[in-house]
Amino acid sequence: MSTTSSIPLPLLITGVAGVAGYNAFHHFHARFPGQVIGIRRADNWRLQGDGLVGCDMHWWQDSSAASQNRQSLPALFDRYEFRSVLNCEGTCALRACELDPLMAWRVNVLGLENLIETVQQRAESVRLVHLSIDLVFSGTLDGDHVETDPPDPVTVYGKTMEQTENLVLSSDPTACVLRISLPMGVSFNGHAGAIDWIQARFQKGKPATLYFDEVRTPTYTDCMNKVFDDLLRNRLSGLFHCGGPRKLSLYQIAQIVNRVGGYRAEHLHGCHRIEAGPMPPRAGDVTMDSRKLQDGLGYAPFDPWPIDEEFVPTDPEWHYRRDTFDGSPELLAEQLYRNPKAN
């Protein structure tokens, strides 16, 4: 693995309203004070703090109303002279993307086009690491997808993310594209992540219905931040899978949140995707094999989520049994939002 001594700074992190971007921003902002800028959409005024800037990347090139937005990203580059970019921007709201494909394309694809154009106008080279998603696959196969498997997304979101991959790889041969799965970490608003949504239902005493047959490779954001750090420093390029080593269905993930959080077991329900209706479409087993990334980095980058085997479901009724440990929101925060091994 070819590396540089340090991350090229300053660093721009986009999409800090999402779980991956939010945790990455705080990780790098703490490491390099004054050298890291995070951007969120201009109308997301609730997300504020040192180093955070409102900036819309997805302007229309032919829209006079977007003239101010068109200048905001280049102005940031002119001001800070970024040497590296971690692009976490995108909308992953499945239903919203299905109902408004143009919005999904504008945010996910057009925003990236504008970012790449801005980067390519700079005299200095810029290291680009771009995040895609496991949902570029339909999950109709047996999982363990490798990078050479052809994408076949079933959602508008997945289709736009496949477009972003092709855009980055064709425009910048030195860039690195990471397909992530479910990032497990805190969010800025308490409901942006997978854990957040499930826990919020249980906290309110409401039922949550999750799928038996949508299977993912969730990953602690603590582990992802270490990978981002190394990839921003090194010269690995191309497409890599960035999923954790433990395969879990969405129902199993909800079992873990339910029992570790100490919530009422009867509030969790399960079903198969076919029972949930056609909107939005759901993928199946989109688990990823991340050995290519491991080989490129020279080490195994991911601990399983959750790291403690005691918190892994063994059967569909596992969350009803409360005999081995006492669940609580505090235990959930310690074990599921953060990697205990990293703290």
CATH number at residue 191: 3.40.50.720
Quote the tokens at residue 276: 């949930």
What Rg value do the Cα atoms of the chain yield, rounded?
20
Total domains present in the chain:
1
Strands 248-249, 215-216: parallel, antiparallel or unpaired by DSSP? antiparallel
Answer whether residue 124 is part of any domain: yes
Answer whether residue 331 is part of any domain: yes
Mean per-residue pLDDT pooled into runs of 10, the chain (343 residues): 71 96 97 95 83 84 55 91 96 94 94 94 91 96 94 97 98 97 91 90 96 98 98 96 98 98 98 90 97 97 97 98 95 97 80
Quote the tokens at residue 37: 């800028």
Answer whether residue 4 is part of any domain: no
Residue 2: per-residue pLDDT:
43
Answer whether residue 3 is part of any domain: no
Phi and psi, residue 175, nearest 5°: -75, 160
Answer whether residue 61 is part of any domain: yes
Answer whether residue 66 is part of any domain: yes
Answer whether residue 5 is part of any domain: no
Residue 67: per-residue pLDDT:
54
In this prediction the pTM is 0.94
Residue 279: per-residue pLDDT:
85
From 10, 168, 3, select the one nearest 87 (Cα to Cα): 168
Contact residues for 145 (Cβ-Cβ < 8 A; gap 6+): 134, 137, 241, 286, 287, 288, 289
Answer whether residue 26 is part of any domain: yes
Sequence length of the chain is 343
Domain with 74, as residue range(s), is 11-342
Contact residues for 200 (Cβ-Cβ < 8 A; gap 6+): 190, 191
